[in-house]
């Protein structure tokens, strides 16, 4: 699969438009022109679920080998010209079936819905590729005559220009656009050809419920809707990121699941929805499926740092890292297996259904500023009760429980902050501080426990056992330091 980034800006032009001399653009030495005849078939669901998010899937011939192309409508910054910035994935092959690797990326957006042919386009393309003096590519100015066809009939047509960055950067693209506008080109809606061809249905709001701004005077139900819609959108986004292999994607997907579960717990008195508890259970399953992969990623990075803490006695953790790296690879594959399961599809649909039409309890009709302070206060009191009882010699499990409560208090306050603003910002900051202190404790405790277990698993390797023992000793020292740091921080918060 070939992966590229497409950065382009579209312009509308009249039929009589003549492309100006492009070598007038500073830095352009010569232009290579070629003409292509393209035929593209686009695929989507019956409700145009992909098009409504700016995603397109097509099979096209006429430009080298036939290929499938997926252009993902991902959260990304617009280019300076106001154009499109999308990731493009190409898979060469026959048009008999959508390639499995592209279907995999569409799992969350589709949620099991079937794809079918939705529109066919014929395009006569004149491509003007701009080069610098060394022959390097700068930009491509594409002049397209587009026809929408049904069988043998042409049902719509238009002409458009596209200016695509090919390495020249924003300055070259901006200069080309300025030249074209001076020649009579006009700004255009930055939507894919297929979306334009499909008409108004393709530009309807996305299938996912959209988060709306929530004010303190709004019913508390509005904040619940915001939380569910935001969580669902984040889950879909991070699902695609995990499948693309992006950094931190596993962590973000896991955090999304935990935050959703916490919000559903915080808002439980506002909901009278029998689907909530099953949904929380499934979110726990998904977060747990990614737990091992994420924990091993964090553990490996932490142990590398721990090994270098004492410059006079650095530890060689190569063998430890290799063993844990193998476990991480297995864990990642297991996590991806969860994302490709029928159970996951059912979870996505359940979350979508609840987010689209939650069932509220009567109290949800009350104003946010009447309801939310008590919910945040309850979450904080649960944390405070646990924190006050912590002792230096308590087992790690009690400290871990306090960390969980700190997360809940933070998530509750952060959700309430959407509506209440600065009124709960102090609680957000306090909960973040507590979570940070207890998070350091948990990471150190887990690291110590895991390396000791690794030593037991490979007890015949004395050098490995010695290294693991020294790592564990350093990590247990971190446990003690973090406990004392927590007590100091908690005293400051109390005052």
Q: Render pLDDT for 82-139 as a digit per residue (tens, 0 to 9).
A: 677 888 999 999 999 999 999 999 999 999 999 999 999 999 999 999 999 999 999 9
Q: What is the mean pLDDT of residues 135-163?
A: 96
* Domains of the chain: total: 2
Quote the pTM value: 0.88
Is the pLDDT reported for residue 55 higher than 90? yes
Is residue 373 within 8 A of residue 420, CB to CB? The reply is yes
Name the one residue in this structure whose structure tokens are 């693209």: 173
Domain stop point among 154, 174, 203: 203
User: Within a domain: residue 208?
Assistant: no
User: Within a domain: residue 210?
Assistant: no
The reported pLDDT for the residue numbered 495 is 61
The reported pLDDT for the residue numbered 303 is 96
* Residue 77 pLDDT level (bands cut at 50, 70, 90): very low
The rounded distance, in Å, linking the Cα atoms of 416 and 422 is 10
- Percent above pLDDT 90 for the chain: 90
Q: Render pLDDT for 427-465 as a digit per residue (tens, 0 to 9).
A: 999 999 999 999 999 999 999 999 999 999 999 999 999
Residues 383 and 469 in one domain: yes
Residues 60 and 129 in one domain: yes
Instruction: Calculate the CA 231 to chain-centre distance.
Output: 11
Residues 376 and 251 in one domain: yes
Query: Residue 412's closest CA among 383, 439, 442?
Result: 383
Q: What is the mean pLDDT of residues 131-159?
A: 96
The rounded distance, in Å, linking the Cα atoms of 470 and 468 is 5
Is residue 33 within 8 A of residue 127, CB to CB? The reply is yes
Is the pLDDT reported for residue 348 higher than 80? yes
Is residue 92 within 8 A of residue 67, CB to CB? The reply is yes
The rounded distance, in Å, linking the Cα atoms of 483 and 416 is 29
CATH of residue 446? 1.40.20.10
* Residue 80 pLDDT level (bands cut at 50, 70, 90): very low
Is the pLDDT reported for residue 81 higher than 60? no
Angstrom distances, CA of residue 49 to CA of 27, 44, 196, 253: 42, 7, 15, 22
Least confident of 63-77, 78-92, 475-489: 78-92
Is the pLDDT reported for residue 175 higher than 90? yes
Helix (H) or strand (E) holding 433: helix 425-457
Range of the domain at 447: 220-494
Q: What is the mean pLDDT of residues 179-186?
A: 96
Q: Render pLDDT for 199-258 as a digit per residue (tens, 0 to 9).
A: 999 999 999 999 999 999 999 999 999 999 999 999 999 999 999 988 889 999 999 999
Residues 331 and 445 in one domain: yes
The rounded distance, in Å, linking the Cα atoms of 7 and 61 is 22
């Amino acid at each position: 699969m070939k992966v590229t980034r497409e950065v382009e800006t579209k312009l509308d032009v009249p039929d009589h438009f003549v492309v100006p001399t492009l070598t007038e653009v500073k830095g352009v030495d010569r232009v290579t022109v070629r003409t292509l005849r393209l035929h593209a078939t686009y695929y989507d669901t019956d409700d145009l679920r992909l098009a409504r998010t700016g995603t397109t899937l097509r099979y096209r011939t006429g430009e080298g080998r036939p290929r499938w192309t997926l252009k993902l409508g991902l959260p990304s910054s617009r280019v300076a010209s106001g154009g499109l910035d999308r990731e493009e994935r190409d898979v060469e092959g026959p048009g008999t079936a959508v390639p499995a690797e592209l279907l995999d990326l569409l799992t969350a957006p589709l949620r099991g819905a079937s794809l079918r042919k939705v529109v066919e386009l014929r395009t006569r393309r004149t491509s003007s590729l701009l080069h610098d003096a060394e022959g390097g590519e700068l930009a491509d100015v594409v002049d397209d005559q587009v026809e929408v066809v049904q069988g043998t009939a042409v049902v719509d047509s238009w002409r458009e220009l596209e200016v695509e960055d090919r390495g020249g950067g924003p300055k070259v693209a901006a200069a080309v656009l300025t030249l074209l506008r001076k020649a009579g080109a006009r700004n255009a809606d930055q939507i894919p050809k297929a979306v334009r061809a499909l008409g108004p249905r393709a530009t309807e709001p996305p299938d996912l419920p959209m988060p709306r701004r929530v004010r303190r005077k709004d019913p508390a139900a509005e904040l619940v809707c915001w939380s569910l819609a935001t969580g669902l959108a984040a889950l879909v986004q991070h699902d695609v990121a995990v499948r693309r292999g992006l950094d931190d994607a596993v962590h973000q997907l896991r955090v999304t699941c935990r935050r959703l579960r916490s919000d559903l717990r915080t808002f439980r008195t506002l909901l009278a929805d029998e689907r909530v508890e099953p949904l929380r259970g499934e979110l726990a399953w998904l977060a747990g499926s990614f737990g091992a992969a994420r924990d091993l990623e964090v553990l490996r990075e932490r142990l590398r740092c721990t090994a270098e803490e004492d410059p006079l006695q650095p530890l060689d953790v190569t063998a430890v890292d290799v063993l844990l790296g193998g476990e991480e690879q297995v864990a990642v594959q297991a996590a991806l297996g969860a994302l490709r399961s029928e159970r996951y599809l059912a979870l996505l649909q359940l979350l979508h259904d609840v987010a689209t039409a939650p069932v509220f309890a009567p109290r949800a009709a009350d104003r946010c500023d009447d309801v939310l302070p008590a919910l945040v206060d309850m979450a904080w009191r649960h944390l405070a009760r646990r924190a006050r009882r912590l002792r230096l010699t308590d087992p790690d499990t009690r400290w871990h429980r306090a960390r969980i409560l700190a997360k809940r208090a933070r998530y509750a306050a952060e959700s309430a902050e959407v509506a209440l603003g600065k009124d709960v910002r102090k609680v957000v900051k306090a909960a973040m501080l507590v979570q940070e202190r207890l998070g350091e404790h948990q990471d150190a405790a887990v690291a110590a426990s895991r390396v000791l277990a690794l030593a037991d698993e490979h007890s015949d390797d004395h050098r490995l056992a010695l290294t693991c023992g020294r790592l564990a000793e350093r990590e247990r020292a971190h446990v003690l330091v973090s406990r004392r740091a927590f007590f100091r921080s908690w005293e400051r918060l109390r005052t």
